[in-house]
Amino acid sequence: MKNKYTVGSLYAGVGGICLGFEKAGFNLKWANEFDKKACVTYRNNFKHNLIEGDVMELDTATLEQVDILTAGFPCQPFSLAGHRKGFDDRRGNHFFKILDFIDEIRPKVVFLENVKNLKSHDKGNTLKVIKSEIKKRNYTFDSSILNTKDFGNTPHNRERLFMIAFDKNFLNNKSFKFKFPEKEQLTKSIKDLIITEKVSDKFYYGEEKYMYNKLKEAVVDKNHIYQFRRQYVRENKSGLCPTLTANMGTGGHNVPIITTDFGFRKLTPRECFRLQGFPDDYKLPAISNSSLYKQAGNSVSMPVIQRLAEEIFKVIEKVEAKEKKKEKV
């Protein structure tokens, strides 16, 4: 029976991890998110309890027990784009707060997501600390860097580190190693995700824009995505979208650019969400485009989460089936 295993989600954002687990057959019980605008989007798409506020102020004892605890915790301390402060950064303490939740809830599975640079941060010591703290609590620990283009059938070059831990008391299997999904062939293209009809004029670059001539000269292939980099236009010839980032919402020309029958323009928020694997029935609320761009860039690629969640579901089912067999004997 699907939906019998429960999930609690920390740092839920707009629900990319939640939606992936829901589609894999899990039952979402609660989520927590700090960003007010992200909470608006989240509530537009989910009915379960969303606790809006700072995770640091959440009382772990008040939360409902769940089988799976997920956390796409803040990546700034571990990102090459940040200051490389790691655990010295106040935000790095979020990992230790997650440990409080693990100790209190004791979930069967812990699911963590972060930028790929976490693996190499501080010469690998940051990941060693995370692994050590998880294993100290009698959990397994397996991690892998997965790219959306290889594991989500979405033309988006986005690498993320996934860390998955199972309670050894639940597994009752000393040699267990989590099996990450196999790579799959990419069958979707940029053209499959682009809106073909004319969109609002505000997304197009007109002659009044100072970079108009540069864009007109360079942005010519409907199968490719482009980026404006101050004085030049960069073409992504791989047929993939470059990694979408949260700073798309900060204005300027950070949003990738495409050309269509109606001229060249920036991607719309809906297209950015599509490039993160969100279905079109995922509702985008009437908030500013800058907020939606930021949310899409901050999110996870939902189909990658779904595939990982499906593998987790199989493991739990297998363990529970074994236990039932033992009980009968």
Q: What radius of gyration do the chain's Cα atoms show?
A: 21
Q: Are 110 and 144 in contact (CB under 8 A)?
A: no
Q: Among the options 18, 39, 75, 272, which is catalytic?
A: 75
> Cβ contacts of residue 218 below 8 Å, gap of 6+?
226, 233, 235
Rounded Cα gap, residues 294 and 291, in angstroms:
5
- By three-state DSSP, how is residue 123 classified? helix
User: How is 63-112 classified by DSSP, letter by letter?
Assistant: SPP-SEEEE----GGG-TTTT--GGGSGGGGHHHHHHHHHHHH--SEEEE
Structure token digits, residue 65: 């027990």
- Cα-based angle 81, 82, 86 (whole degrees, multiple of 5): 130
Name which of 182, 90, 85 is nearest 125 in CA terms.
85
**Is 75 a residue of the active site?**
yes
Between β-strands 109-115 and 6-10, what pairing exists: parallel, antiparallel or unpaired? unpaired
- Nearest alpha carbon to residue 119 among 70, 164, 162: 162
User: Active-site positions?
Assistant: 75
